Structure 1
């Protein structure tokens, strides 16, 4: 009975650690950037400050737009 119990405990720890790892990854990839939009917005403006859009924009295509600019619904 003890061997079966230890196997179940190990299995539970394995599954629990997998769930925790997936949860930590989801937080880092999805939730953290959504909660810190201002930080990413300022980083993006700093990174694109030296880029002249007219020099690199192919003809006939629209210029970059701000991905953080939310449309207002009436």
Structure 2
């Protein structure tokens, strides 16, 4: 195995690992927006934002909402 091929495989593997880590965090919610919003509604049910948010800060809004 040549040194260039080994270096290419190491960096390619590293980039693949980063891509595999980012898929469920970033790309899945963007591709399955309705399902993600349903899951978040279930997960955040019963939580009052004003009680969780530190005083003096703006209450967070829906990041997927239209402006």
Q: TM-score, with normalisation over the residues of structure 2?
A: 0.60
Rg larger in 1 or in 2? 1
Cα RMSD, aligned residues only: 3.1
- Point out where structure 2 has 5 or more consecutive residues left out of the alignment: none
1:42 aligns with: 38
Q: TM-score, with normalisation over the residues of structure 1?
A: 0.56
- Point out where structure 1 has 5 or more consecutive residues left out of the alignment: none
Matched residue count: 66
2:23 aligns with: 27
Q: Which has the higher contact order (CA 8 A, sep 6+)?
A: 1
